[in-house]
Copies of this chain bind each other. A is one copy, B any other.
């Protein structure tokens, strides 16, 4: 099942069901108006949406209309919790090496998690609004799951069963604001203002065999100003699967329906595959040449992210954003 949220002037938008090939959509009104409602009562509401989804895919839904991703908010325009991991170790290792920070001691057994802001997510085509180009504007392509309720101390395999939806995320980072925040040790706040999401959230079954062991085994394509800069494998190098990330997070807390847990920026050891965030490219340049050559995003720059299934169909639709100055 594929779900999206249409802009309607309200804070939470209108829930729509989207056909598998992303060509058609149908308002979910009569079943649920907001995605959070569905997550709050998943076992009761989701089968009704699934029925509508089936009818829509069969071309039999009466009030179907062409799906327009430019009208989308984030599937969950605001959420009660957003935690991004850093599950692709290559990413963290390269960045630390380049800035002369020691490698993390237990990187392979102890996942890194960042608590993020979740009151104001961006839609797939919303501008990345910044006050200054000097902030070191960076994109970061990754995957994320939306969970149901998860009890404290749930083990990884069981935690995996709480995954309701998968999403594609652009976790925007203002890299030049990071060093002072890292020095303070209080986490990333100013440097991690918001995140953008692809138009469509999908249930794991949509991925077929590509959803395996709590990981998405597909390719993530990233283009910057129209030029392809990354085509990375999302599966094999994800050190911690989503069940492990959720389980780690709920060691000391329970999660409530609609919590979003991210994988962190996708990264492969084979650097020929390119990059999913600029910081990593700059880190590689620093390690090779002593200084970065690639600059961060400028006003007017665009970034596009997409994941295609084994059948060539876009799984989540595309994130396609431009950087804009605050008016």
Task: Spell out A's residues near B (CB within 8 Å).
Answer: 11, 40, 78-81, 83, 86, 104-105, 110, 112-120, 129-131, 135, 152-153, 174, 177, 180, 182-194, 248-249, 251-259, 326
Contact A115 B255 (CB under 8 A): no
Task: Write the nearest CB–CB distance from A164 to chain B, whole angstroms.
Answer: 14
Q: How far is the CA of A295 from the CA of B34 in the complex (A)?
A: 47
A-B contact pairs, 17 of them (CB 8 A): A78-B80, A79-B80, A80-B80, A80-B120, A104-B184, A105-B183, A110-B180, A110-B184, A114-B115, A120-B253, A130-B252, A131-B153, A131-B251, A131-B252, A174-B252, A177-B252, A185-B185
Chain B positions within 8 Å of A248 at CB level: 190
Q: How far is the CA of A115 from the CA of B181 in the complex (A)?
A: 12
Q: How far is the CA of A258 from the CA of B190 in the complex (A)?
A: 19
Q: How far is the CA of A188 from the CA of B120 in the complex (A)?
A: 21
Contact A83 B258 (CB under 8 A): no
Closest-by-CB residue of B relative to A41 is B11
Chain B positions within 8 Å of A189 at CB level: 83, 113-115, 249
Contact A186 B114 (CB under 8 A): yes
Q: With A104-B184, A193-B253, A249-B189 known to touch, is A117 a contact of B115 (CB < 8 Å)? A: yes
Q: 7 closest Cβ contacts across the A-B interface? A: A187-B187, A80-B119, A193-B253, A81-B119, A119-B256, A193-B252, A115-B115
Closest-by-CB residue of B relative to A78 is B80
Q: How far is the CA of A104 from the CA of B185 in the complex (A)?
A: 10
Task: Write the nearest CB–CB distance from A102 to chain B, whole angstroms.
Answer: 10
Task: Write the nearest CB–CB distance from A235 to chain B, whole angstroms.
Answer: 24
Task: Write the nearest CB–CB distance from A12 to chain B, whole angstroms.
Answer: 9
Task: Write the nearest CB–CB distance from A183 to chain B, whole angstroms.
Answer: 8
Contact B188 A152 (CB under 8 A): no
Q: Which one of A40, A188, A252 has the highest number of Cβ atoms from chain B below 10 Å of its Cβ?
A: A252
Chain B positions within 8 Å of A186 at CB level: 86, 112-114, 187-188
Q: How far is the CA of A158 from the CA of B185 in the complex (A)?
A: 29
Q: Which one of A80, A83, A256 has the highest number of Cβ atoms from chain B below 10 Å of its Cβ?
A: A80
Q: How far is the CA of A49 from the CA of B40 in the complex (A)?
A: 27
Contact A119 B258 (CB under 8 A): yes
Q: Which of B11, B105, B115, B182 contacts A256 (CB 8 A)?
A: B11
